[in-house]
Amino acid sequence: MSTVHPTFSPRLLEARDVVAGMRLFRFSSPEGFSFVPGQFLMFWFCDDPKTKRAYSLCGDPAHAGRYFEVAVGMVGAFSERLGRLAPGGEPGLTVSGPFGRWTYDGSLPHAVLVSGGTGIAPFRAMALRRAGLPAGASARLTVCCSARTPELLPFRDEYGDWQRGGAEVVARVTRPEESSRRWKGPVGRWSAADVAAIAGDPEAVYYLCGPNKMVAELRDGLLARSVAPERVRAEKWGDYSDLF
């Protein structure tokens, strides 16, 4: 039996920049809406129904009955058209979903989430899901973020909330020389050796999200370190590794 995914015209409640070049959109939810972190929606405009783009749900699943959020990097024609939307002015925007089985529901003993740039979007929903678990829950969650510069780390101002919600958060920057701010943390892209060392746990399950090359290299590196294939869950978004 095939699953029916609702299609609806969402109402934009608010939009704001997360960092330069990345906007967060909050839409009101249709009746009965829910999702599992890691799932995504398909977006299109009714004047161009063949151009569809996927965006990961990045808000708190506990609030899905009222609103949902996506965070979008402004990188091309579709994302920039979305970026021009303002509350009350989203004519023809259409959404379908949620879709996807690359999910985290808080039941794993230890999940390690590794992202590049905007790839943090689904991991924000996962960190918020972790924070919503009952006090004392044993689900360990390690969030590994990265961006070119400290000011481009998306949702950096929320790391404290994620940590209070039970997640460990570690960030790297890949091009500190492009920033005027001092960065005392680690530098360079995440490697399989880095994330395996941070996890320190042969039973950890890795979620990888971001540019194709980053995800493929991390996946290969983890498999080469004898991590079982079923413990590496990769989500590739596109071919844009040169941005990191």
Ligand X SMILES: Cc1cc2nc3c(=O)[nH]c(=O)nc-3n(C[C@H](O)[C@H](O)[C@H](O)COP(=O)(O)OP(=O)(O)OC[C@H]3O[C@@H](n4cnc5c(N)ncnc54)[C@H](O)[C@@H]3O)c2cc1C
Using CB under 6 A, list all residues that contact ligand X: 40, 53-56, 70-73, 75-79, 117-118, 121, 235, 237-240, 243
CB 122, min distance to ligand X, A? 7
Position closest to ligand X via CB = 76
* Of 54 and 133, CB closest to ligand X: 54
CB 30, min distance to ligand X, A? 19
* Of 20 and 135, CB closest to ligand X: 20
Residue 136's contacts (CB-CB under 8 Å, 6 or more residues apart) are none
For 55, the 3-state DSSP assignment is strand
* Of 37 and 150, CB closest to ligand X: 37
CB 127, min distance to ligand X, A? 15
Compute the distance between CA of residue 56 and CA of residue 147 in angstroms, rounded to an integer.
18
From the list 131, 17, 10, the residue with the least C-alpha distance to 66 is 10
* Of 60 and 140, CB closest to ligand X: 60
* Of 49 and 200, CB closest to ligand X: 49
The three-point CA angle 134-103-139 to 5° equals 30
CB 33, min distance to ligand X, A? 17
Instruction: Please report the DSSP string for 139-189 in residue order.
Output: -EEEEEEEESSGGGSTTGGGHHHHHHTTEEEEEEES-GGG-SS---S-BS-
CB 58, min distance to ligand X, A? 6
